[in-house]
Amino acid sequence: MTTTTNKPAAGVEVDTWTLAGREMTSRVILGTARYPSQETLLASLEASGAELVTVALRRVNVGSADGSDPTNLYTLLTERGYGLLPNTAGCFTAADAVLTAELAREALGVSLIKLEVIADEDTLLPDTEGLLEGAQELIRRGFDVLPYTNDDPVTARKLEDVGCAAVMPLGAPIGSGLGIRNPHNIQLIKERAGVPVIVDAGVGTASDVAIAFELGCDAVLMNTAVARARDPVRMARAMNAAARAGRDAYLAGRMPRKFYAEASSPSEGMISPLETS
């Protein structure tokens, strides 16, 4: 397939990252829901440079997941070389999430799963007890688990300790577009984590994505911010650029913050009033 590349400039080292044994250059993970058309979805995926995409099991026709239906989402994505990250969206108990993950593995042939266990319909915030329970059971069954969690460093550490392949703290509630509401906690999670940290949910525009990477996060997963933009393809392209810019800024190392001003021009050689009289 032809995709928007993330090739670095000449002489710049390729910046890859690894998730559950899969090495990738793109740090954008894009969802596949709520786009106005399949054509817009596919064009947005290409513009984003994503290599891994999320998909809800209910949006894949399991009966035609063998590629026999060229309009099936599974066929459209796999033919273009995208890695699939099925999720347990809509599950409110650990048991439901485990069942959905098993169905996804059987239908799609992948053991990578984005685990969602939702606490209530109004906020769509994670049920942390159910999340830990579901993660432990799925790991026992051989899944590589990517849990959607709140921005609590303690919960993130517990999820890593039980064996999750990454932690995915929210920036803000799902679909809110509010951006990263608690950058301090996201940074704490990243500083303590021994697995990739992926901001999941809440980003609204490119600047939110850049901030996530400036905080040191390994990737950003988004859906609504692109799918519900006035021009999804242009927004996807902006997210791609923001991810690379934010990552470069993090690797470059920002200047220290200071309370007072400091002139950037040297004082030596300045013309004095006496020299001009």
Q: Which residues are catalytic?
A: 114
Please say whether the beta carbons of 86 and 56 come within 8 A: yes
Tokens of 23: 């090495």
Tokens of 163: 């064996």
Dihedral sign from CA coordinates of 134, 135, 137, 142: positive
**Separation between Cα atoms, residue 146 and residue 112, nearest integer Å:** 8
Tokens of 75: 């066929």
DSSP letters, 170-199, are: -SSSTT-----S-HHHHHHHHHH-SS-BEE
DSSP letters, 12-64, are: PPP--EEETTEEES--EEEE-SS-S-HHHHHHHHHHHT-SEEEEEGGGS-GGG
Backbone phi and psi for residue 95, each to the nearest 5 degrees, phi listed first: -65, -45
